[in-house]
Structure 1
Amino acid sequence: MKQAQQNSPWTWIPTLYFGQALPYVVVMLLSVVMYKNTGVSNTDIALYTSWLYLPWVIKPLWSPFVELFRTKRLWIVALQLLIGASLALVALTLPLPNYFQISLAVLWLMAFSSATHDIAADGFYMLGLEEHQQAAFIGVRSTFYRLAMIAGQGGLVYLAGSLAKSTGDVRLAWSVVFFLLAGLFVGLALFHHVMLPKPAADVPAARSGELLQEFVATFRAFFKRDGIAVILGFLLLFRLGEAQLLKLAVPFLLDPADKGGLGLSTEQVGLVYGTIGIIALTLGGLLGGYTISRFGLKRCLWPMVLAVHVPDLVFVYLATALPSNIYLIAVGIAAEQFGYGFGFASYMLYMIMVADGPHKTAHYAICTGFMALGMMLPGMVSGWIQQQLGYQHFFIYVCIATIPAFVMAAKVSIDPHFGKK
């Protein structure tokens, strides 16, 4: 295969962001289903899997090193191999008696590798595309990110449920799933070694002083931006409600009616939430990226903030009515996920706008670190809150928790032309 700098973005963006999403899906979503299947409580699931978010929160601390040493391309390939090895290790730990503690430790290693991979991949995206291409392809990268979610929490959850039924061994079923993922990541690393382009801009950042000075200067430049308090408030609070809903959506679907849940099987959750829901999320993301590229981020912000948060009311309805009709449940989940996908495009473009400048790789990593913090902290307590309130009142509380996002959206400053083709 010929390697060239002029490779079309279509030859690498789909696989790059499919590969970026899978470890996140494994750590934050697939692990929730796995631990629920093996009898771990909602409180422990929400608490311990939320701690796994920490590498994405603190990744800005080492983002300057990714920018200063070697190329983003090399980082991507090497880290995909390391993620593959971590996935294989998870598979090997599941048959052990103390699998919960050991698998969490390995998932931590995977999370650090994945967070570092995100730094390199997002930096590569910004270095390899012009600004108008970044806006146009935000929907494409989101689409393949979401397709990875379909493959993960849809196809793989369904596969795990089927294998568990046929073998009678839940842990064996999940071991097979993780071995398959490990093989996939080795294949992705080999593919990207051949197919990723080599942009002229993908070089280690120039140093004007000592390494420590460069490290400090990178952070200082970010936090000296005009309106930094509003920027950080928006990044932290935009997903305050969603961060809590996300942790309890799958347990709600799996729990029986006497516990306030819908009582779906693992296979049904894989189909309804992990496949139909993610397809809707993907379509929303594609439409969101196209809409911003046509009208600009500033004009689209408010409609997109509404699109993210208003559909949370779907879960209030589901927890109140407790419908047994799988088609009705699927329609509700699809509506909520479509709105979220459409609106989340604005959040992604906002981070790209904030990060633009000479340290865009590190600054984008700082933005996503604050995004992760805004997901991690609320997620940690969401399981305890749900157990105190019950599912119905918990989802009402989630809707109330979206109010700060609207407050911050009213305060942010956006270039009227940013994102337009």
Structure 2
Amino acid sequence: MSTAAATPDPSSGPSGPEQPPTRRAGTVAWTASTYFGEGLPWSILHQVAAEFFTAAGLPAREVGFTSALHFTSSLKFVWSPIVDLIGTLRQWIVATQFGLGVLMAVLAVLAHNMASGAGSGTAVIWLVLIAIGLFSATHDIACDGYYMTALGRPDQARYTGIRVAAFRVAMMVGSSGLVFLGGRVHWLAGFGLGALLMVGLAVAHRVWLPRIHAARPVVQSSGDAAADWRARIAHIRGAYFSFLLQPRAVIVLLFLLSFKLGDALMFGMSKVLFRELGIGTDDRGVLNGFGTAASIAGAMLGGLWVARVGLQRALMPIALIMAGGIPLYLWLAAPRLPADIMLGFGAPLSLAHTLSPPLWQVGTILVIEQLCGGLATAAQTIFIMSRCHPDHKAAHFAFATAIYSLAQTISGTYSGFLYEAHGPLVYFSIAAVACVPCVVLIPFLRQNS
């Protein structure tokens, strides 16, 4: 009783020297469309759902529960080897996009009923959101594996800016466009448009997403079901252990946990700081637009930088640039100390706000920090891809992203408690210091050639 030798899978899987489409425009198109498909469900889960619950008048604690939906991404490494092993990455992309569209359509109906007073609570909505999170995480596994399989390492770096930019554009569509429709027209229209976009992507990718070809180890049937399942389990076990047993695995894990940790802390409370500086919702929306554009530009520049000089030469300066952007928030937080003293003596809030920096200074610092963060996002993505073994690219990428996602989720969940306990000056000082460990670890990393 033995399994057959591994044979090439003619469709897709993360391994081997698969060839990208020969036309650059085609590569840009499918990179942008697939990662737009990653970003839109993320926005539905973490931006649009929170806006809907807020508009429905739910208490803050339930609105805050949307942060817990990040754990579906943090746990995706559990089933990522199955995506490597069963079917093709192209099939997984199309199927999960269609499933996401159906789930968003169900969410649209439930949101409509709740907003119209015909719903019976939020329990079913939460179940649908969890299902969207699971489908979204599975789509991420397949999409990342497809990208790494279809493109060689130089092209992976070159197109990283495109993938990050497409993801951020999808975030803008969700947090701006869908929320606007939900508030101005109805939430049925907001979530419904999201459903149509995902189904449209599924149909489009079913037609023109390139069928990549590569050899990857798959377990063929031996006629013995027990032996076949043992082989599959061995493949899954090998996916995890091969990542954990790579050279300097402990340093790699610590780096993944610490890189962008300061950026996550900053992001968690930056909007609260802006509100305390007297910046209204409309102005914050404008600032967020400029910030997102800056992060897209930073991601594209970061991808080009790494493609030009290599990851080993680019990683340290990019980490230092990222670390240098976060202390700028101390400049914005500094006026809060005398403002709090004035409020303590009974001064009106409008008088305390006169100490706040002007809007153009806030916007300038936000744009600079987001540009630095975009550079770091590109470098982080390329670093993770460089640590993925050819036989387990999708599983390894999911495992690595789950590690840093878990660290950022936990830090973001407790950021409010830290901010309220110590105030903005101490909080953003901690965020700045949190950038130091990853900088210290970089010299101990050794990249794969």
Q: TM-score range by the shorter chain?
A: 0.7 to 0.9
CA distance change for structure 1 residues 105 and 41 in 2, over 3 Å: closer, same or farther? same
Q: Distance in 2 between matches of 1:56 and 1:73?
A: 20
Counterparts of residues 106-117 of structure 1 (less than 5 Å): 106-117=128-139
**Is contact 1:63-1:116 (8 Å) kept?**
yes
Q: Distance in 2 between matches of 1:301 and 1:324?
A: 33
Q: What letter matches 1:150 in structure 2?
A: M
Q: What letter matches 2:253 in structure 1?
A: L
**Is contact 1:93-1:99 (8 Å) kept?**
no
Query: In percent, how many aligned pairs have the same letter?
Result: 28
Of 154, 164, 168, the match for 1:132? 154
Q: What letter matches 2:441 in structure 1?
A: M
**Are 1:151 and 2:173 counterparts?**
yes
Secondary structure (helix, strand or coil) at the match of 2:210 reads coil
- Once the two structures are overlaid, the 10-residue window that deviates more, 243-252 or 317-326, is 317-326
Q: Deviations over 1:121-165 (max 9, x none)?
A: 0111111112211111111212212222222334444x25xx63x
**Is contact 1:154-1:269 (8 Å) kept?**
no
Q: Distance in 1 between matches of 2:70 and 2:96?
A: 18
Match of 2:432 in 1: 399
Match of 1:342 in 2: 375
Q: Deviations over 1:11-62 (max 9, x none)?
A: 311101111111112223333444455555666544x223211111111111
**1:64 Cα offset (Å):** 0.9
**Is contact 1:21-1:145 (8 Å) kept?**
yes
**1:101 Cα offset (Å):** 4.5
Match of 1:296 in 2: 310
**Is contact 2:260-2:376 (8 Å) kept?**
no
Counterparts of residues 143-222 of structure 1 (less than 5 Å): 143-157=165-179, 159=180, 164=183, 172=186, 174-201=187-214, 205-206=218-219, 210-222=231-243
**Is contact 1:386-1:394 (8 Å) kept?**
yes
Q: What letter matches 2:145 in structure 1?
A: G
Secondary structure (helix, strand or coil) at the match of 2:387 reads helix
**Is contact 2:158-2:303 (8 Å) kept?**
yes
Q: Distance in 2 between matches of 1:381 and 1:222?
A: 29
Q: Deviations over 1:327-367 (max 9, x none)?
A: 43322221111110012211111100001322112111111
**Is contact 1:304-1:344 (8 Å) kept?**
no
Q: Distance in 1 between matches of 2:32 and 2:331?
A: 35
**Is contact 1:59-1:366 (8 Å) kept?**
yes
Match of 1:103 in 2: 125
Q: What letter matches 2:162 in structure 1?
A: V
Q: Distance in 1 between matches of 2:215 and 2:193?
A: 32
**Is contact 1:308-1:344 (8 Å) kept?**
no
**Are 1:31 and 2:64 counterparts?**
no
CA distance change for structure 1 residues 32 and 242 in 2, over 3 Å: closer, same or farther? farther
Of 77, 81, 88, the match for 1:71? 88
**Are 1:280 and 2:287 counterparts?**
no
Q: Deviations over 1:54-75 (max 9, x none)?
A: 1111111111110111110010
**Is contact 2:74-2:405 (8 Å) kept?**
yes
Of 238, 257, 262, the match for 2:278? 262
Q: Deviations over 1:365-421 (max 9, x none)?
A: 111111211211212211222232334443233223222222333432225xx5xxx
TM-score (norm 2): 0.80
CA distance change for structure 1 residues 144 and 204 in 2, over 3 Å: closer, same or farther? farther
Structure index of larger Rg: 2
Secondary structure (helix, strand or coil) at the match of 2:214 reads coil
Q: What letter matches 1:233 in structure 2?
A: L
**Is contact 2:178-2:191 (8 Å) kept?**
no
**Are 1:308 and 2:322 counterparts?**
yes
- Once the two structures are overlaid, the 10-residue window that deviates more, 201-210 or 54-63, is 201-210
Q: What letter matches 2:104 in structure 1?
A: L
**1:277 Cα offset (Å):** 0.9
Q: Distance in 1 between matches of 2:417 and 2:30?
A: 41
**Is contact 1:127-1:202 (8 Å) kept?**
no
Q: What letter matches 2:29 in structure 1?
A: T
**Is contact 1:244-1:382 (8 Å) kept?**
yes
**Are 1:241 and 2:228 counterparts?**
no
CA distance change for structure 1 residues 405 and 25 in 2, over 3 Å: closer, same or farther? farther
CA distance change for structure 1 residues 87 and 387 in 2, over 3 Å: closer, same or farther? farther
Q: Which runs of 5+ in 1 are unaligned?
A: none
Match of 1:11 in 2: 29
- Once the two structures are overlaid, the 10-residue window that deviates more, 70-79 or 351-360, is 351-360
TM-score (norm 1): 0.85
Q: What letter matches 1:406 in structure 2?
A: V
- Once the two structures are overlaid, the 10-residue window that deviates more, 362-371 or 112-121, is 362-371
- Once the two structures are overlaid, the 10-residue window that deviates more, 282-291 or 352-361, is 352-361
Q: Distance in 2 between matches of 1:245 and 1:49?
A: 19
CA distance change for structure 1 residues 315 and 178 in 2, over 3 Å: closer, same or farther? farther
Secondary structure (helix, strand or coil) at the match of 2:391 reads coil
Q: Deviations over 1:178-204 (max 9, x none)?
A: 121111111111111111000112877
Q: Distance in 2 between matches of 1:318 and 1:41?
A: 29
CA distance change for structure 1 residues 284 and 383 in 2, over 3 Å: closer, same or farther? same
Q: Which runs of 5+ in 2 are unaligned?
A: 1-19, 221-227, 336-352
Q: What letter matches 1:117 in structure 2?
A: H
**Is contact 2:178-2:193 (8 Å) kept?**
no
